[in-house]
């Protein structure tokens, strides 16, 4: 098992300053999309943002519910 390494208070403050300094660099649309993005892996290898896994699961469940409703609503009676 790997040994955990902790950072010092000064290093954490420096990292927070960098993060807060860069927080306003994105566009308004990216700011609106931020809650739906994966909080751990913000960007993939190509630099595109990853969606939050719960958003993907919710979209799949919504599609399944819609397909089920459409199937049972438009079914021909007697078949």
Domain map of the chain by residue range?
22-73
Q: What is the dihedral of CA 8, 14, 18, 20, to 10 degrees?
A: 90
The reported pLDDT for the residue numbered 66 is: 95
Q: What is the mean pLDDT of residues 64-79?
A: 83
pLDDT per residue over 16-70, tens digit each? 888 777 666 667 777 777 777 666 666 777 877 777 788 899 999 999 999 999 9
Q: What is the mean pLDDT of residues 12-18?
A: 84
Query: What value does the CA radius of gyration of the chain take, rounded to a whole number of Å?
Result: 22
Q: What is the mean pLDDT of residues 2-17?
A: 84
pTM of the model: 0.45
* Helices vs strands, H then E, count in the chain: 3, 0
């Amino acid at each position: 098992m790997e040994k955990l390494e902790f950072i010092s208070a000064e290093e954490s403050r420096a990292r927070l300053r960098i993060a807060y300094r860069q927080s306003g660099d994105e566009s308004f649309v990216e700011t609106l999309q931020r809650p739906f993005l994966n909080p751990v892996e913000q960007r993939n290898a190509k630099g595109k943002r990853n969606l939050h896994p719960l958003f993907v699961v919710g979209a799949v469940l919504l599609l399944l519910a819609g397909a089920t409703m459409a199937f049972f609503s438009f079914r021909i009676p007697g078949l």
